[in-house]
Structure 1
Amino acid sequence: MVRKVYVDVLAAWSRDGRITPRVVKWEDGRRFPIDRVLDVRPAVSLKAGGAGTRYTVRIGQTQSFLFLEQDRWFVEAHG
């Protein structure tokens, strides 16, 4: 089962309004630096529900989706 997990995100805002996430802070306090943003597009989370801006990010060797839903960030977590 996949659930929606809201997370804290450290992000940079550019002068032209672009948002670039830099670090994801997990529920237990662990921090995961984002190595690269691979894609940004409006999308829905078919697994966990919700919609917004979907960031495809690389954290280490793992590619993940990070969603900005209105004013909150979430990830799709298993379990």
Structure 2
Amino acid sequence: MITLSDKVYVDVLTEFSKDGLLIPKEITWEDGRKYEITRVKDKRRAANTKAGGVGERYTCVVDGKEIFLFYEDNNMWFMERAGA
């Protein structure tokens, strides 16, 4: 069952490439901790089946681990809570 606590809205520092692509650079978690995104491996339109929501799914590398970061159609960023 999906609950609101499965989805965590986060602040994301971004930049635009010279080609106009939106590139996430840093995530600020709900407790204020900041995490640098060292690489964006993929970007595609996708749904999050665990936490709900749909948008652009960025496959990012943070602290050597692959994570999914979603940019919703409402211009908000979210992630799935660990263990959700």
What is the aligned partner in structure 1 of residue 79 from structure 2?
75
Partner amino acid for 1:57? Answer: C
Q: How many residues align?
A: 79
What is the aligned partner in structure 1 of residue 55 from structure 2?
52
What is the aligned partner in structure 2 of residue 39 from structure 1?
42
Residue 12 of structure 1: which of 1, 15, 20 is its match?
15
- In 1: Cα distance, 2:64 partner to 2:25 partner: 16
Deviation of 1:57 (Å) = 0.3
TM-score (norm 1): 0.92
Q: Which runs of 4+ in 1 moved over 6 A?
A: none
TM-score (norm 2): 0.87
Structure 1: runs of 5 or more not aligned: none
| RMSD, aligned CA | 1.5
- Whose strand fraction is larger, Structure 1's or Structure 2's? 1
Deviation of 1:62 (Å) = 1.0
Partner amino acid for 2:15? Answer: A
Q: Which has the higher contact order (CA 8 A, sep 6+)?
A: 1
Structure 2: runs of 5 or more not aligned: none
